[in-house]
Chains A and B, each alone.
Chain A
Amino acid sequence: MFAILYVLVIAEPDDGTGGGWRTTNFGSALDDPGGFLQVLLDALTFAGLLFIVASGFSLIFGLMRVVNMAHGSFYLLAGYIAYEVQQSMTGEGFSIPGSEVNTWEWVFPMIVAAACVALLGLIVQQLLLSWNQGEDLRQALITIAVSVIIADQVIAHFPRTGVFEVGGGNAVSMTWPGWTERFVDLRLWGVQYSLARLVMLALGVVVGILLYLWLYRTKTGMVIRAGVDDRQMTSALGINIQKTFAIAFVVGAALAGVGAVVGSSQGNIASGQDTQWLLNSLIVVIIGGMGSLLGAAAGSLLYALVLTFSASYLPIIGTECCTNYSIVITFALLAIVLAFRPQGLFGRAG
């Protein structure tokens, strides 16, 4: 409550005098609604990206109880594959200006990358996970081993246009299609906002809607939801749960791929980001609750909101305090949520 009040009323813009406990980068939401709106949109659009990646993780987790520790590695691999495909399509080399990328040259790499990691996911699931269903910890460890291998292989082979020969895993980035490179006038307190970031939010919403339709309006989806609720019962009813598991794993891996394309267009892709994205996915799922679509959405939103607002609205006291601690505060809040709701916001107890 105090946090909300603080953002709304108390905060004052930095006047360059070093600041006190009321000094922030932005004025309060009432004084500086434009700034507030921008920060809010930053959070919402980031949540869109988080949701795309984490929903795949959550799906696998919820249905199969597999903590897929290789999710981040799938992300990393897909990001590099998409980059290479986009490079070869535009023939540009290096960093491509947005004006030379059309929608197809963005969508096609995404399809290729998502298909590649979906296939990889299928192989991993069929070869390594399908026969030891129910051994949660062992499966998590198998995926850890897989992630170690993938991370090393990515460094060995990507990017194809490295500093020295092939490989190295240095940072490269995808390019959004040219038409997103502009600002949208929101006609609200004079705020102009990046279309690319709004597209990112829209993609998150689209993925959410598609997943919803799939899970709640198709037969496969119903079987998956039944599997989440009661695995034994579902298979006792004569439903081929193994096939359902395979489908869910493929979709989950593909979502990591789609997320990677969005993420590497938004930022970039580089060796080391696999761990970061695994962590991001874990956090979203921890907050939201496992295996619930709504939970993944809520988890993404809360995580993005807290991270973004604490970085933007924590008071400035000298150069040492306090915006630097936004990430610590984010996780402290997370621990509090968990202490009161161990199963996450939308998870089921037990």
Chain B
Amino acid sequence: MRRLRSWKLLLPLAALVAVGSVSVSGSLAASSQASEVRVAIMTDCKGAFAFGYELDIGGAQAAFAQYAGGKPKNRKKPSAGMTGIRVGNTPVNIVGYGCGDDTAPTAIKETRRLMEQLRADVMVGPLSGDEAVAVANYAKGKPTKTFIIGTAGSQDPTMQIAPKNMFRYHGDGAQWNAGLGEIVYKRLGWRRAAIIMDDYSFGWTSGAGIIADFCAIGGQITKRVFPPLNTTDYAPYIRQLPRPGTVDGYFWVVGGTGTGASLKAFEQAYGRLDPKQHAGNLFFAFLGADKEVAPKVVGAYVGGFGTAPGLKTKQARAYEAVIKKWYPDLPAADGFVHNYYNAAWALVLGLQKSGGRVGAALQAAMPRALKGGYEVSDNGQIRLDSRRQAIQDQYPLQIVKQGNSIVTQVVGYVPNVDQSFGGLFKPSSPPPGRAQPKCVKKKLPWQGKIKVVRNGVITNQTIR
């Protein structure tokens, strides 16, 4: 009797083992069969970009709804799920959403869960720079799986690492900032500037775009300051910046959560911000910064996010209508929504061409051009380069006051921005870092060709 009871205690253990062995045997079904396509959406639900969760999922699913018959379960809450996605005769199942916290280890853990446990064939994501670096390295070892980056801005995944099964239908952090340097050089007369940037791969890549653009036209970067992520008090880093008067302006590449805090620290050191002396990357205007940061710097120029809020083209209107149709509350011009939308749309097109097959067939069939919402050049098509990285139009912005609200407005149109900045960045050169790139005068493909955008209409004038 005693013995028997003691064996009862083993039941939980036995149950656990059973869970392990029952939970689907083997990965037979996954790769070659055309029976169903398993898709995972990888984003963040913790950490500094947790708010991107619904935006990313919503963007991707809006594309599935529009082009593959998906039905949102809840139009107010994209993560509630989607049913009925079909490409041709092939059902597409969203097997799971990944929950990162913008660090590499968590991204890998989640990616493994999605790709190996839930046996996804394709991943749309991840969200942030270092996550994409980690996932790109993971992708190298999984050639049959396909990865379409969601909205990550680091350069390495499609430049130095560049696995053949990874695609990116939006610019990297450097591309997003194309044109900003030239605009402040010409419009505000900046010649010498300082830059303060987050000390990690997205900060470096985003800053690299500004430095390359500003130096290419003849500007000088006199100082680079690198506050670590999660800095509590920015005052000592602000003190490292040259004092106002010794430079013409400051570029801000401090983001996620540090933007507001670092700008306040500047105010406390040198008084109210003069918008003519400050320019920032997307952290000035997107990702919630429009509410926290933008009101402090009305009038300042800002790098883009691959989107053009308020652009009056048919294609842009149509795209915004699609988002509104499926998820009425999603901000269509937010890069999170737009980039995940394009990624999922590209996947649908790829599956249509591959006849629902995944693996190498899908990778070969992935579109090399995509009619992205805000694209104008090349008949409004984003094109992929040989490393499967988008060549995309970019739109520098300005923060302006419109009535009582503060909005971002497109000021320039920079056509066909490629990842290499006309050969400045190469697979063989080190990725952006504290000292990379150097400040050099150079002819960039778009130099002197940035068109003025007025009230959402691209004019024929170039920025002077």
Contacts and interface: CB of A to CB of B under 8 A. Distances in A.
Interface string A149-172: 001100100000111110111111
Contacts of A197: 235, 268
Nearest to B54: A164
B340 to A, nearest CB: 13
Nearest to A176: B264
A277 B55 CA distance: 28
Nearest to A38: B239
A190 interface: no
Contacts of B240: 25, 311-312, 323
B47 A172 contact: no
Nearest to B289: A171
B54 A272 contact: no
A242 interface: no
B288 A162 contact: yes
Nearest to B259: A171
Given A173-B260, A194-B269, A94 B236 contact: no
Given A171-B257, A266-B264, A320-B434, A271 B47 contact: yes
B116 interface: no
A348 B120 CA distance: 57
B260 A171 contact: yes
Contacts, number: 159
Contact of A46 (B54, B55, B230, B235): B235
A164 B329 contact: yes
A147 to B, nearest CB: 13
A103 B120 CA distance: 55
Contacts of A272: 46-48, 101, 230, 257
A228 B237 CA distance: 39
Interface string B63-79: 00000000000001100
B264 A173 contact: yes
B399 to A, nearest CB: 12
Interface string B27-54: 0000000000000000001111011111
Contacts of B21: none
Given A95-B292, A170-B287, A326 B236 contact: yes
Contacts of A46: 232-233, 235
A133 interface: no
A270 B54 CA distance: 17
A230 to B, nearest CB: 36
B9 interface: no
Interface of B: 45-48, 50-55, 58, 76-77, 101, 199, 222-224, 226, 228, 230, 232-237, 239-240, 256-257, 259-261, 264-265, 267-269, 271, 287-289, 291-296, 329-331, 334, 406, 434-435
Given A42-B235, A165-B54, A268-B261, 12 more contacts: A16-B222, A93-B291, A169-B51, A170-B51, A172-B291, A173-B261, A194-B267, A263-B232, A267-B232, A268-B264, A320-B434, A324-B226
5 contacts: A170-B287, A171-B289, A266-B264, A267-B234, A312-B239
CB-based closest 5 A-B pairs:
A168-B51, A267-B261, A311-B236, A270-B257, A194-B268
